[in-house]
Structure 1
Amino acid sequence: MADFGSERIADLYRRPGSVSSAYVDVTQDARNPRRTSTLRQRTMREALTEAGAPEIDANTIVELVEEPPGVGGPMGRLMIVRQGVVEVNEVLTGEPLGELLVAYGPVPSLLPLLIHRPRDFSYVVAEAGRDGGEITLFRLSRSQPVSRVRVEGDTEFLTKVGSEDDFLANGRYQHHTEEVWKRNEGQIAAAIDEVVRDSRAELLMLTGDVRARQLLVDQLSPTSRDVLHVVPTNTRPGGATQEELEADVHRHVAAIHAQDAYDALERLGTGQGNGLSEIDFAAVVRALQQGQVDVLLLAASRPPGETLIALDREPWLAATPADALGAGELGSVPAVDALIRAAILTDARVIVVSPGALPAEVSAAALLRWSTLPASVETPTAAEAELADLPSRGDAVTFPRRRSSSGISDTGTDSGQDRPER
């Protein structure tokens, strides 16, 4: 698919009609690719038929699975088909989640997508040279670059040359060349800043000529430097490999996702004391029904085994028909699919955490937008507390003696000991 971010996921969930979902390991077997392909097609068709998928969906998925992925390495392919119409066809790089996962029902199964690509965001790859550079904007949900900007710098006096005949002239030439480089990198830096700012990129990867990188970094804005990572290789010369750059991009993207999960788990822990998080399954369902969930956390190793009722409008899911609040029932679906759908349709984020990150008995947790606890009474100030201690009109009371500034009573004894009882 050209673009498959959160908006398209929500649109997919709103469409009526049952849908066939299939996730399959499409890593190429170099030893016997033809045999692998034949077995995969047969196994997939049998699994879809057993799940109840119509023949038109099964035929379409079997054809899709043999499309060249366009990338190498381990990968899975996620396909969502409704009455023969392809709605999702995503190649997901990384270690596959299993050989084959299929489903048929009113809600597509998108858990594999959220495990491989937890969140969609933009990142920038900039390749710098002394004569100019290239800035490419990417988005995780798109297979092709979003945009590409080419910066052409000044090429006159671009190369330093030695001259033994005129030392002073050579010094002026070298200085002028450095100024040309600096101006060129200033132009690239300005272009990078504009792309990062407009796209709100969360990662900037910089590669290219060593001296060009040094001059460029010094001229980047603070916003760009905050997301900057320098790749110690030059990919600009003809025939230079991109493998190191791609590996670094994947590593830093994974680090951003890992930080998201870490931050969410920190919020989960601190939120237990102030009503801003839930780990009870029933409470998580109720919070989703109320649009209260900011982040839904799911355990990768143990997705909820229960089923829930998917609804055609808010509150989007229910545990029993009585909880539907007048919404139409689409059918009973795996709880994990119902939870994800309700989260996406209420603008909540979904994070699938690594095994062991949640307590052993917890399959789903939620970070909340507002507290479930009643509003606490504010602690009174010292002056308010003193006023509260004063007697009301008509009360009989013996007032304590006035204290001096030293905290000792007029009689010279400790004021606390000299205070008569009320």
Structure 2
Amino acid sequence: MRLSFLDRLYERPGPWASVYLDTSQDTDDPDGAIALRWRHLSGELVAAGADGATVDALAEVVGADREVAGRHGQALFAAGGRLVLVEELPDPPQRDVARFGPLPHALPLAVGYAPDLPYAAVALERLPAEDGGAPEEVVVEVESGRWPMSRVVPGPSDVLRVPVGDWEQEAPHMARHLEHLAAGGDAEVIVLRADEGEERERGVLVGRLPRRVRDRLLTVRSIATAEELPPRGGSGRALLEQELGALLAGRLSASDHARLDAYRAQQAQGPEASDGMAAVVTALQQGRADALLLNEPVRLTARLWVGAEPTQIALSPDELRALRAPVVREEPVEDALLWSTVGTAAELVVLPRETLPLRDGVGVLLRP
């Protein structure tokens, strides 16, 4: 997974105020609950030394995501009195967090983006005719996105409505649209929902898809009642969100799969250069890290020291001084690790521990 969406956090000096906040809309008084949470967090920032202008910049956008239905959260970053980055979180943080320090606390946000899997969701429905009204219709909605962040930041969507009798003539147009998404890299996976009674319409569409697109296709039926799903109109939630969650949980993107395979081959040749925090730090120092591999849930216990440049990172202050770093300071391990990863243009692969347990919870794929 590329980390370019975090570049702006490292283009200017700190100190940084970083906030993770539950902004869910599933309570009787969400605005009041959010205001109470923010009051506690803003107090923590001030106690940690944050200036008033920076806290005020964050306050302007806290809870400004009211159009997103259901449970979710916000990640907010500000420095020098300016708001720099606001991101929606598909799930609220396990606990609200406020930090103020030299580096942004951005690893939870980066992990929340993973695996950044491009997909297309297709909801096919046959609507019965209304008495005296229009004939039966086939309605197909297509929405592309990148899982899981598009759960709360949906991608572009299209809706096709055609009379049932015209479906065979119109289905090739929808098939070409899906083929275009797949060919353009916007859909490594295509999830098609068609329920009981819609088998014929589904078969017509699938039969028009080229083999290379059918190979990416997963078909499902609805797994939630209308009452369990947030309303579609203006809800800010992804099409087929619950069905996608059931199918894509633990799935890696194609690029992450390729890096995992390369890491396993590298590890077979010499695990000491691949596995564990010492191997990761050495690779970052040398600018040789192609990708940081990180186990989820994240549990990092090492201590790291950093200097002025992303390659100036070490497991001890003496090691960092040997690198002629002009400054030496200890930073939270997750903040230092991500700062160096982004600064050396490495990518991030987040892996469930059961997929591949890593020593110290981290590993590194080296550049050729």
TM range (shorter): 0.7 to 0.9
Q: Distance in 2 between matches of 1:201 and 1:325?
A: 47
1:148 — aligned with what?
157
1:139 paired to 2:146: yes
Letter paired with 2:171: E
State the TM-score, normalizing by the size of structure 1. Answer: 0.67
1:113 — aligned with what?
109
Q: Distance in 2 between matches of 1:279 and 1:66?
A: 40
2:300 — aligned with what?
303
2:212 — aligned with what?
223
Deviations 1:350-406 (A, max 9, x none): 244446777696143223334xxxxxxxxxxxxxxxxxxxxxxxxxxxxxxxxxxxx
How many residues are matched?
338
Question: Secondary structure of 1:273's partner?
Answer: helix
Q: Distance in 2 between matches of 1:234 and 1:359?
A: 32
Deviations 1:324-370 (A, max 9, x none): 466x6595422221212222333333244446777696143223334
Structure 1 residues 238-249: aligned runs within 5 Å: 245-249=240-244
Question: CA shift at 1:305, angstroms?
Answer: 4.0
1:124 paired to 2:98: no
| Aligned 8 A contact 1:128 1:188 in 2 | no
1:253 paired to 2:255: no
Deviations 1:222-278 (A, max 9, x none): 33223212232599xxx9976992201233332324999898777666543302652
Structure 1 residues 12-411: aligned runs within 5 Å: 12-28=9-25, 30=27, 33=30, 36-94=33-91, 96-98=93-95, 100-128=96-124, 133-140=140-147, 141=149, 144-151=153-160, 155=163, 158-159=164-165, 180-208=166-194, 209-233=198-222, 245-257=240-252, 271-275=266-270, 278-299=274-295, 300-312=297-309, 315=311, 317-319=313-315, 320=317, 321-324=320-323, 329=327, 332-354=330-352, 362-370=360-368
Letter paired with 2:205: L
Letter paired with 1:58: V
| Aligned 8 A contact 1:317 1:338 in 2 | yes
| Aligned 8 A contact 1:76 1:93 in 2 | yes
Q: Which has the higher contact order (CA 8 A, sep 6+)?
A: 2
| Aligned 8 A contact 1:261 1:353 in 2 | no
Question: CA shift at 1:45, angstroms?
Answer: 1.6
Larger Rg: 1
Q: Distance in 1 between matches of 2:185 and 2:257?
A: 25
What is the percent sequence identity of the aligned residues? 25
Q: Distance in 2 between matches of 1:136 and 1:29?
A: 25
Question: CA shift at 1:128, angstroms?
Answer: 4.0
Question: Secondary structure of 1:256's partner?
Answer: coil
In structure 2, the gaps of 5 or more residues are 126-136, 233-237
In structure 1, the gaps of 5 or more residues are 160-179, 371-422
Letter paired with 1:114: A
Residue 118 and residue 293 in structure 1: after superposition, are their counterparts in 2 closer, same or farther (change >3 A)? same
| Aligned 8 A contact 1:132 1:151 in 2 | yes
Residue 16 and residue 37 in structure 1: after superposition, are their counterparts in 2 closer, same or farther (change >3 A)? closer
